[in-house]
Amino acid sequence: MAKRVGIFARRAQWVAALAILVPFVGFAGHYTYQVIRSDTDLDVLATEAQLVESFYRVVHTSDDNSLASRFGAGKWRSPVRIFYHRSLPKWHAALSRRQFAVLSRLTGLEFQEADTFDENRGISVFFTPPLTSNQRMVREFGLSPANIDRVGQATCFASYRDGPDKHIQWGYVVFTRPPEERRTEACIVEETVQVLGLQADRATYSPSVFTNARARPVALSINDKILARALYDPAITADMSNEQTEKLIPELIHRLVVGVKARGEEALYQR
Structural domains in the chain, sorted by start: 76-196 (3.40.390)
Region 174-188 average pLDDT: 89
User: Which ranges in 131-212 belong to alpha helices (H)?
Assistant: 134-141, 182-194
Segment 50-90, tens digit of pLDDT: 999 999 999 999 988 888 899 999 999 999 999 999 999 99
Quote the pLDDT of residue 220. 97
Cβ-proximal residues to 254 (8 Å cutoff; 6+ apart), any chain: 48
CA dihedral 213, 214, 218, 221 (to 10 degrees): -10
Phi, psi of 80 (to 5 degrees): -110, 125
- How far is Cα 149 from Cα 77, in angstroms, rounded to an integer? 26
Neighbours of 240 (CB within 10 A): 20
Quote the pLDDT of residue 6. 57
Most confident of 7-21, 39-53, 120-134, 150-164: 39-53
